[in-house]
Each structure stands twice: as structure tokens, then as C-alpha cells.
Amino acid sequence: MVLLRAATRALRFHLDTLPAVFHFDGPGDQFLAESAFPFARWRYACATSLLGSGMGGTVVGALARSLFDDGLLWQWVAQCPAERRPALLGSMLEERDRICGYLSAHDVSCPNLARWFVPLDGVTDLTGASLEALSAPSLPDAAELLDGFLASPPVQQTQPVLQGGGIEDLLQAARGMLAMSGLRGAVMVLGHAGHGNLLGMQSSLAADGVPGHDLRPDHEALFMHVAAVGVTVTLLGACAAVPESWPPEVEQAGFLGTLMRLTEEAVAAARAVHGLGDPKPPVTGPSKIRARERSRRLRSAAIITRGDVLPDLGNAGPVVSKARTYGDFVSSWVTSPWAHGDPKLASVLAYTSAHSTFATVMNGFDNHAAVTSVFAARMLLEEAARFTWLAQDVEDEEAFAQRSTRYFDEFRARKKKTIALFSSNGVARTAAARLFEPPGNVVAGPEAVSKGRQPLPSIDEMLLQLGAPYPEPGWLPVAYSLLSQVTHSTPVGLVHMARYREDTLSAHDISPEMLALALDVACLGSARLLGMSGLILTHGSDEARQYAFGLEKHALAVHDAARLVHWLD
């Protein structure tokens, strides 16, 4: 692991030396393409910073998954930049339209929708009202890009092109570094971490680590393998999509040659730990992936007129103050998960992971790592919705037992499916199962999945239940969709990860609306997870009950301040 961490950080330091170039008043798709690499580099740096920090282990998996998806997207764009780059504008409008659909379906008001859609004004035209944007196709989804990649994996090169190779040659070599046996199963492992679910939290079960806080070595290696190649391919793809944005003071061939060498060193160190080798040849030929034509008319609210653009005047300061007060209360009481007997693994992970993930939020947003706060907040919100659904009406023992069966069956089935994907793609079943084996101090639970099992309700349905006490319960599905714009690196999310004020573009800043929303749902989600899991672990002690009440009280104070910035609920 020492070699792996040294290699991933060496790559990070090299990436940090490349200046970012933006062209103001150019086409909107040019600015979005220029934003892709700085955003990817930022997430990669945040992932490396979390390693060994004692918090946010599974957040690394979420960041790695987003970098993997970015790599697939930008290698696709690089194949035909002139045709495919405009699809960034089409996807921007499509994502806006999807958000409008959530607002309408859940009867949620959002008076500052124009700020959510155009948080940057003065850099380029992001209104979506231009003919170029309205006529642009949309990007393919991540699943289609993955299918295309797996159908035509590149031939691994024994001597990658390090100096003097063209962008296409370098992309081919980088794609070879991403190819590994069982890649589809590996992507599922990344997805579990990204959603903060029970399987994802088990990535933090290291033999010599703290549950919920650290990462098991094989998962860390897998995450950083994918993250290193993802950020590298994103840069190479951006070089092809916006060649005019390469900084003239940096010699491109030399920089990219060093980049490839450092990425290869990180991949080699990761392979030595996770043990996933070369993939099988594809059984089918490559498929042609095209930009998608828009399937329906856009809602009018998805297009912002120039007169409706709102200035960047939001102030998240009061939200930060309330969140810090909430954070002080979070640390005012703790319990040992093992102080009241042998606890269930799910309760331990809910409690410890909530502490770890919330700490990631609070340590990130004002420490040049605000993007990790958004990823962590979304994870807390999603798992809080699942846990709330699971633990509702516990006095009805029969109904609770049925929900428990559905809950654990869901993740047993996902585990079984992931192992099957590994073993059907060149990984020995024993090796695949080893990726899910808990350390020796954890008693493994049953593995059998109930016949005719019922899947969990949709996340939308569970978020509505979590939002029931609020004036507009549907605000939580909308909030989840907005946070997902960042975690999925959509054009809507990209522009919330920068601010333009006083003729200065701050590429690693976060809009006040997105920061307020992230802090709001992070407090809401962690309050529910810490309160409920604390009660379960202490068998309903008075201390835990008072703590749970206090968490909800302080989280509501955060919400009261945050809704004046993000204007939901």
C-alpha cells in the first residue's frame, strides 16, 4: 500500500502543475469541455487526500466511480470532437428538463430555479436559449458507454507510448490501463460505494482499520486504479476536444509522456494489491455509440432567458454557522458499538459510517475540497432514506421483520450478482468472493436470498417518506437530483463547482446554492442515521433518545437557514 499511495500522489502532484485555460465569451460547449479536466483533477486530488485520513473511506469509491464515468465519456468525445462536443449543451438542457420534471411531479416550488440552471454569468452563454443548444443532441448514458468499452477493449501495449505519441495513441494506451478482468463487477463495487449502501460501507471493513472510516486494501487499490486512469483519460479527451486550451507555456509531449508513465506506475501498484488481471477478448464486435437525439419536447422552464438570469448574491455563511453548531452537537455524545453486547453489522456501519461521512462533509467544504462535501452529503441522504424506511414502525414486529428481510435480501442479491459478473469475466469465483470477505473479527451473516424476494422501494419513494414532515415532502427527491448533477459530472453540476465574481473565475469554488443544499441534507441525513443507529446500539437508552432529539432539532435549524439560500421546501 505504501507504493500505491506514493504512486497515486506522484500522479496528483504532476497533474497539479498544469495550468487551466478558459476562453471567455466562446461557445458554451467549449467552456464546458474546458471545465472537465479541472473538475476531474480536483476530485482525484480529494480522493488521494482522503486515503489514510481516517474518514471518508467510501467517499473515495464514489469519487473513483465518477472519474471512471468521465474517462469513458471523454475517450468517446475524443473519437469525433467536432460532432460530439456540442452534445454537452444538449445534455445540459436534458438534465434541466429532468429536474423540472421532479419539481412538477412532486409539487415542489423553486423560486430561484434560474440560479440553479445558470449559476455562472459573464463567462459564456449557459442560458440554453441559443440555436446551438436547442438543436444539440445529448450525450450517451454511462451504461451505454461501458457496454461499448467492454465490447471493444483495447490491446494492452507492452511499451506504452511515452514521448512523442499523438493523442489517439496515448488514449489507446490509457484505455489499456483501464482494461481489467471483471471490469463490470468492479464497476458495481464502485457503484455500491458511491451510493453509500450496506455493501458500499463494507468497503471500510479493514482488518486493522476502523469500520466506516478506513478502506480495505483491495478496495482502495481498485478505487485508485480506476481514479488514476479516469483522470488521465479525461485530460487526454479534453486535449482532443479543446486543443486550443492547452497552456502554451507547457510542452505537451513531455507533460503527457510523464503523465502516462506516472499513471502506469499507479496502475501497476494497484494491480499488485487487487489482483485483477487482463480481460478476456470480447465475444462481440464493437458497437457504434452515437449522441442521442432528444426524445421529447423540453419544458419551457429548462430554458432561461437572458433577462431571467440572477446575479451571484447568495450567502451560505449563516448555513455554515448553523452546520458548525450541529457538528458540535454531533460530537457531544458517542457510544461504543460494542458497549451493549454484540451488535449487528448493519447498525455498526450505519453509526460509524455516518460519523465518518459527516466528518468528510465538514472537513471538506472550507478546505479546498467542497466537491467531497457534495458527494458525501448525497451518500448520507440516500442511506438515511433507506434506514428510515427500514426502521419505521418498529413496534409492529411482523412488518419490521418483513422489511428487514427485503433490506438484507437486496444486498445479498447484489453481492451475488457482483460475484457472478466477476467470475463470468475472467476472475476466479474464489478470488471474486474474497473481495467481499469480511475480516476475521466480523461474524458473517446468512448468504441465502429469499425465494421470490421483493426489491426495495425506489429511492424516490423512500426520499418522499423521509421528507414527509416538511411542508413540501418532494423537496428531497429534487435535492437528490441536484446533488447528483455534481456526482455524475453533468454540465449542470460542472457549473456549480466554480464561481465568477469581479471578473475572476474560481474553478475550485462551489456555488452558495449547492453548498447550502449539501450542508442541509448532510445534517438531515446524518441526524437520522446517528439518531436511529445510536438508539439501536444502546437498546433505546435515555441518553441515545435525548441525543436523537437534539440531532433533529439542530438539523432543522440548519434547514431553516439553508432554505433561504437554496430555496427548496
* 248 pLDDT more than 80: yes
In this prediction, residue 277 carries a pLDDT of 75
238 falls within a domain: yes
Q: For residue range 108-136, what is the model confidence (pLDDT) as tens digits?
A: 999 999 999 999 999 999 999 999 999 99
In this prediction, residue 151 carries a pLDDT of 80
- Judged by phi (left if over 0) then psi (alpha if -120 to 50, else beta), residue 269 lies in alpha
114 falls within a domain: no
Q: Mean of the pLDDT values across residues 372-383?
A: 97
Residue written as cell 470532437?
Answer: 81
Question: What are the grid coordinates assigned to 482, written together?
Answer: 441536484
Q: Mean of the pLDDT values across residues 293-313?
A: 89
Q: For residue range 2-54, what is the model confidence (pLDDT) as tens digits?
A: 999 999 999 999 999 999 999 998 999 999 999 999 999 999 999 999 998 98
Residue written as cell 448532510?
Answer: 522
35 falls within a domain: yes
423: nearest Cα among 414, 432, 434, 435? 432
For 352-361, 495-504, 552-561, which range has the lowest pLDDT when averaged over its residues?
495-504
Q: Which residues of 67-88 are buried (b: 16+ CB within 10 A; e: fewer)?
A: bbbbbbbbbbbbeebeebbbbb
**What residues have CB less than 8 Å from 274, skipping those under 6 apart?**
218, 219, 221, 222, 225, 435
Question: What are the grid coordinates assigned to 133, written together?
Answer: 443548444
- In sign, the C-alpha dihedral spanning 399, 405, 407, 410 is negative
Q: What whole-number percentage of the chain has pLDDT above 70? A: 95
386 falls within a domain: no
Q: For residue range 132-179, what is the model confidence (pLDDT) as tens digits?
A: 999 999 999 998 998 888 887 555 554 545 555 689 889 988 888 887
394 falls within a domain: no
In this prediction, residue 207 carries a pLDDT of 84
Rounded-to-integer distance, Cα 176 and Cα 178, Å: 5
Rounded-to-integer distance, Cα 74 and Cα 85, Å: 9
Q: For residue range 178-228, what is the model confidence (pLDDT) as tens digits?
A: 877 778 888 889 989 888 888 889 999 888 888 889 899 999 999 999 999
DSSP 110: -
pLDDT band at 294 (very low <50, low <70, confident <90, very high): low
Give the bridge partners for 504, in sequence order.
501
- Judged by phi (left if over 0) then psi (alpha if -120 to 50, else beta), residue 341 lies in left
Mapped onto helix, strand or coil, the DSSP state of residue 525 is helix
In this prediction, residue 502 carries a pLDDT of 85
Q: How many structural domains compose the chain?
A: 1
Q: What is the overall mean pLDDT for the chain?
A: 91
In this prediction, residue 185 carries a pLDDT of 84
341 falls within a domain: no
* 498 pLDDT more than 60: yes
Cβ atoms within 10 Å, residue 18: 18
Mapped onto helix, strand or coil, the DSSP state of residue 292 is strand
567 falls within a domain: no
Q: Mean of the pLDDT values across residues 297-323?
A: 95
Taking CA 63 as the corner, what is the angle to CA 48 and CA 15, rounded to the nearest 5 degrees?
50
239 falls within a domain: yes
In this prediction, residue 311 carries a pLDDT of 92
Spell out the alpha helix ranges (H) of 392-446.
Answer: 397-423, 429-434
* 279 pLDDT more than 70: no
**Structural domain boundaries, residue 261:** 2-91+140-284
In this prediction, residue 422 carries a pLDDT of 87
In this prediction, residue 158 carries a pLDDT of 46
In this prediction, residue 283 carries a pLDDT of 54
Mapped onto helix, strand or coil, the DSSP state of residue 192 is helix
Phi and psi, residue 521, nearest 5°: -75, -25
Q: For residue range 451-485, what is the model confidence (pLDDT) as tens digits?
A: 889 999 999 999 999 999 999 999 999 999 999 99
Q: For residue range 324-340, what is the model confidence (pLDDT) as tens digits?
A: 999 999 999 999 988 88
